[in-house]
Amino acid sequence: MFKEIHNSPNNKGNYHMPIILDPSDEYEWLHCNNNTDIVKTLLHTFAKEPIETYSVSQDIFKRVDSNRQDILKKVEY
């Protein structure tokens, strides 16, 4: 799941990948000092518990103030 997100010639080939960590791995991720071996290991782990998914407010994608508590509440469409 990679996405090339920059269009300038200097950034071609830069890819970003989201990471979903199990809470038990968060400390190691934050304190690994960019150790390549640790980072690679954590990139290939996943949360041990199932992830809950649901729709949220479409305001999150609009030019409105989305910095509010209800923005991530479950919404049925």
The answer to whether residue 19 sits within a structural domain is: yes
The answer to whether residue 8 sits within a structural domain is: yes
Contact between residue 43 and residue 17 where contact means Cβ atoms under 8 Å apart: yes
Closest CA to 25 of 43, 1, 37: 43
Give the model confidence (pLDDT) of 4-18 as tens digits: 555 555 666 666 667
- Please give the residue range of the domain that contains residue 18: 1-61
Q: How many domains does the chain have?
A: 1
The answer to whether residue 67 sits within a structural domain is: no
- Give strand ranges (E) for 17-60: none
The answer to whether residue 17 sits within a structural domain is: yes
Give the pLDDT band of residue 64 (cuts 50, 70, 90). Answer: confident
The answer to whether residue 5 sits within a structural domain is: yes
Closest CA to 47 of 6, 19, 13: 19
pLDDT greater than 90 at residue 75: yes
State mean pLDDT over 28-55: 88
The answer to whether residue 71 sits within a structural domain is: no
The answer to whether residue 68 sits within a structural domain is: no
Q: How far apart are CA 27 and CA 6, in angstroms?
A: 30
Q: How far apart are the first and last CA of the chain?
A: 26
